[in-house]
């Protein structure tokens, strides 16, 4: 795992640490049972693995992830992307910031 090129300077003081946590959670999401149980959390965690700073990604950003995410995570990612996409595209920075916000909210509920 390489360090993200676009760890935020600190819109939130702990944002960079949250992104590191998201990447650790993404490793747990490789387990089918975890992915099924926490699909929404995994969909947000997956964004931290893309590492596409300064680019625009398609609304099907999960195709950039290897190995392929489990189906419940793909469905959750599609719902998440649908809220953000404009003409099928999302600036990666917007995707990452929203993923961080929602990841924290989901963690609070779990």
Domain extent listing, the chain: 15-109
pLDDT value at residue 1: 43
Q: How far is CA 102 from CA 41, 45, 47, in A?
A: 8, 10, 11
Contact call for residues 54 and 92 (beta carbons, < 8 A): yes
pLDDT digits (tens, 9 = 90+) for 51-87: 777 789 999 999 989 889 999 999 999 999 999 999 9
**Model confidence at 89: pLDDT above 50:** yes
pLDDT value at residue 15: 81
| Res. 44 pLDDT band, cuts 50 70 90 | very high
Contact call for residues 80 and 44 (beta carbons, < 8 A): yes
């Amino acid at each position: 795992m390489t360090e993200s090129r676009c760890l935020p300077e600190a819109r939130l003081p702990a944002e960079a640490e949250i992104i590191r946590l998201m990447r650790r959670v993404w490793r747990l999401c490789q387990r089918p049972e975890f992915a099924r149980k926490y699909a929404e959390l995994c969909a947000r965690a997956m964004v931290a693995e893309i590492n596409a700073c300064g680019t625009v990604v398609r609304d099907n950003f999960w195709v950039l992830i290897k190995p392929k995410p489990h189906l419940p995570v793909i469905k959750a990612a599609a719902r998440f992307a649908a809220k953000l996409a404009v003409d099928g595209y999302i600036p990666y920075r917007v995707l990452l910031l929203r993923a961080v916000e929602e990841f924290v909210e989901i963690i609070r509920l779990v």
